[in-house]
Amino acid sequence: MGRRFGGVAGAVLIVLLWTVLALTAFRASGAVPTPLAVLRQYGTDGFAFYWHNMSVTLRGALLGFGWGNALGIAIALVALLLPRFEGVAAQLAVISYCIPLTAIGPVILVVQGGRAPTVFLAGMSVFFTTLVGALLGLKAADETSLDLIRAYGGGRWRQLVKVRIMAALPATFGGLQIAAPTALLGAILGEYLGGVDNGIGVALTASQQSYQVARTWGLALACGVVAGAGYLAIGFLGRLLTPWSGPSRQALAQGGGA
């Protein structure tokens, strides 16, 4: 109850601070509209405008989310079963994390065109977090349980199936929780590159170029709500499937978010 009240109080304070800044420091420039102006813009544009663009972006984000996470988990499994490959997996993770998305995105646009950059950048955004989370989880299995598998003649595969996968679920869900909002961000960046005619990135570009400040803020807030919903949904699923280790998963999610 106290946590919910704190969340509501925090939201109210943010809205109040936003209103004060819009009416004082940013009143002359008009760069920050009031919350009421954004709400009016929502009413003017209508639900269909936001849903159409958001649904297009979400399709690309979900595809990238699926491919990027699947690849990250698969490489983590290979690195565990083939220890010599672990160094290569770590290098792939670091490279994917360090390469600027805005640098590689135009290359994908030229080579593939269309919505390929949207899916690719969304997948690349989630790859590092999921790979690291899955690999750490797989390697954090209880040694006593692993020794028991060895005592009965089980090898790496048997250890993986019987012990390591279960042990890796909390950390993996922590990585997936962080990946949910970053996949949406990657998809939006892919749309910013051009080559598409709809989506949140396109709508943001158009509203910025036409100086529609309230619409720009409205689109940004809609993105924040959807990204937050994805984060909470993965977190709820993780708590549902791994009720025994909520604190460790929460610590990973908070650490990755920081």
The CATH number for 102's domain is 1.10.3720.10
End-to-end CA distance of the chain: 25
Same domain, 233 and 112: yes
Q: What's the token pair of residue 163? A: 């012990």
Same domain, 74 and 128: yes
Q: Is the pLDDT assigned to residue 253 strictly greater than 80?
A: no
Average pLDDT, the chain: 85
Q: In which band, very low, low, confident or very high, does the pLDDT at 247 lie, cut at 50, 70 and 90?
A: low
Q: Is the pLDDT assigned to residue 258 strictly greater than 50?
A: no
The pLDDT of residue 25 = 83
User: For 104-130, how does the pLDDT look when each residue is reduced to its tens digit (9 = 90+)?
Assistant: 888 888 888 778 889 999 999 999 999
Same domain, 145 and 176: yes
The pLDDT of residue 183 = 95
CB-CB contact of 129 with 175 (8 Å): yes
Same domain, 39 and 28: no
The pLDDT of residue 254 = 53
The pLDDT of residue 246 = 55
Same domain, 13 and 139: no
Same domain, 26 and 68: no
How many domains are contained in the chain? Answer: 2
Q: What's the token pair of residue 74? A: 């698969």
The pLDDT of residue 1 = 57
Same domain, 168 and 210: yes
Q: Which of 138, 135, 108, 139 is nearest to 123 (CA)?
A: 108
Name residue, tokens 């304070």: 13
Same domain, 4 and 48: no
Same domain, 15 and 72: no
CA dihedral 36, 40, 46, 50 (to 10 degrees): -40
Same domain, 6 and 105: no
Give the domain range for residue 18: 1-32
Same domain, 28 and 114: no
Same domain, 135 and 213: yes
User: For 179-209, how does the pLDDT look when each residue is reduced to its tens digit (9 = 90+)?
Assistant: 999 999 999 998 888 778 888 999 999 998 8
